[in-house]
Amino acid sequence: MPAPSTQASLHLHPNLGQTQHPLKGRALVAANGPIRAGELVMADVPYAVLPTVTADDTICSNPGCSRRIPGYASSMTCEHNCSPAVRWCSPTCKHQDRRRHGFECGWLKHNSPELRQVSDHDYHMLWIVVRMLAARSLELEQEMGENELPNDVFASGWPGVQLLRSNRQAWPTAQVQHWRELARNYLQGDDCGLPVTLDLESLVELICAEETNVFELCPGPTEMNRGEPYGLAVFLRVTIANHSCVPNVSHQADGQGRMIVTALRDLAKGEECCTSYFDLAESVDVQARREKTEGLFTFTCTCSRCLAETATVA
Ligand SMILES: [Zn+2]
Ligand SMILES: [Zn+2]
Ligand SMILES: [Zn+2]
């Protein structure tokens, strides 16, 4: 496999901005002028990304690369045998990623066998939180996030993480209590394997934010026939887009960990950019869609389509 060429970089449409919605919080908007159908709205780079361990393919662990590695392709593994899911596409990527991976290596080796037996979901959730902590740790050492654009109107790095909506009050109490137990057992204490961590309540807040904002990386566009997910990622910019069951933008992973947002139709200046948080081909009727938004995302959708279909039903 060839060495990675250039780092996949951030791209933002010049007319893109954000605004504050009274009910929904932050919203993505065509702030400075129209965005035309088919135009690239943004290519967002992940703050943290990991492969779904149950998928055939994996993802290069070097965040600047994050390219998909097919199951049959040769790749580099960690000499500490921390996790079979940790792979690099080239010796260069392995070398570039040594400090970041060093943050998670001991944690993976110590916790992943047990966690994977308990629950794949909890394992992935905690691992991506560990990768967020690793990114924060590197930022603190370097005092500067990479991948910054001069025209980036969005907060990047750890300050951007702290702006993520956690929906803490909306998650069921028992769920938050479970996450608190996981944080206490696996992300704290001298024997958890992490070089640096946060206090317990900050960790619970971070888990709530991760669960509210995490994206599945799928081969297809999210709103239609997305296919089996092969990875998970937290983005700081595309996550600002709110949901609609009649989306005017689409988002799709690009095979290098980025999320590509494209306008599905012309957007007027000032119009909000909404995407679909789930596969609309699978959740066709209003009841199925409501189960998705309420169960997975703790909100009731009030998009024009939902309102129209609810009126018809009632
Ligand atoms: Zn790579
Ligand atoms: Zn390792
Ligand atoms: Zn809706």
Of all ligands present, the nearest one to the C-alpha of 257 is: 1
Q: What is the mean pLDDT of residues 192-200?
A: 94
pLDDT band at 45 (very low <50, low <70, confident <90, very high): very high
pLDDT digits (tens, 9 = 90+) for 122-169: 999 999 999 999 999 999 988 655 555 666 789 989 999 999 999 899
Looking at the fold, whether 296 and 270 belong to one and the same domain comes out as no
**Domain containing 63 — which CATH number?**
3.90.1410
- Residue 102: per-residue pLDDT: 97
Quote the ligand 2 centre to 154 CA distance (angstroms).
32
- Residue 22: per-residue pLDDT: 85
Of all ligands present, the nearest one to the C-alpha of 101 is: 2
Of all ligands present, the nearest one to the C-alpha of 256 is: 1
Q: What is the mean pLDDT of residues 237-256?
A: 94
Helix (H) / strand (E) element for 45: namely none
- Residue 149: per-residue pLDDT: 60
Of all ligands present, the nearest one to the C-alpha of 80 is: 2
Q: Six-digit token pair at 259?
A: 């999320």
pLDDT at 46 over 90: yes
Looking at the fold, whether 34 and 160 belong to one and the same domain comes out as yes
Phi, psi of 163 (to 5 degrees): -90, -10
Quote the ligand 3 centre to 214 CA distance (angstroms).
20
Strands 76-77 and 87-88: antiparallel
- Residue 182: per-residue pLDDT: 97
3-state SS string for 212-229: HHCEEECCCCCCCCCCCC
- Residue 2: per-residue pLDDT: 44
Burial of 91 (0-12, 13-18, 19+ CB in 10 A): exposed
Looking at the fold, whether 43 and 190 belong to one and the same domain comes out as yes
Looking at the fold, whether 298 and 164 belong to one and the same domain comes out as no
- Residue 221: per-residue pLDDT: 82
Looking at the fold, whether 189 and 233 belong to one and the same domain comes out as yes
pLDDT band at 4 (very low <50, low <70, confident <90, very high): very low
Quote the ligand 3 centre to 165 CA distance (angstroms).
20
Residue with tokens 């909506």: 165
With a CB cutoff of 8 Å and minimum separation 6, the contacts of 37 are: 263, 264, 265, 266
pLDDT digits (tens, 9 = 90+) for 82-120: 998 999 999 999 999 999 999 999 999 999 999 999 899
Quote the ligand 3 centre to 226 CA distance (angstroms).
18
Q: What is the mean pLDDT of residues 234-254?
A: 95
Q: What is the mean pLDDT of residues 7-29?
A: 90
Looking at the fold, whether 158 and 306 belong to one and the same domain comes out as no
Looking at the fold, whether 47 and 97 belong to one and the same domain comes out as yes
Query: What residues does 243 pair with on adjacent strands?
Result: 275
Pair 260, 40: CB distance under 8 Å: yes
Of all ligands present, the nearest one to the C-alpha of 104 is: 2
Looking at the fold, whether 206 and 239 belong to one and the same domain comes out as yes
Looking at the fold, whether 291 and 189 belong to one and the same domain comes out as no
pLDDT digits (tens, 9 = 90+) for 215-228: 999 888 877 788 88
Quote the ligand 1 centre to 4 CA distance (angstroms).
6
- Residue 98: per-residue pLDDT: 96
Q: Which residue has the higher pLDDT, 266 or 52?
A: 266
Looking at the fold, whether 305 and 203 belong to one and the same domain comes out as no
Domain housing 296: 286-313
Looking at the fold, whether 163 and 205 belong to one and the same domain comes out as yes
pLDDT at 238 over 60: yes
Looking at the fold, whether 186 and 234 belong to one and the same domain comes out as yes
- Residue 1: per-residue pLDDT: 43
- Residue 150: per-residue pLDDT: 61
Quote the ligand 3 centre to 216 CA distance (angstroms).
20
Q: Count how many domains the chain has.
A: 2
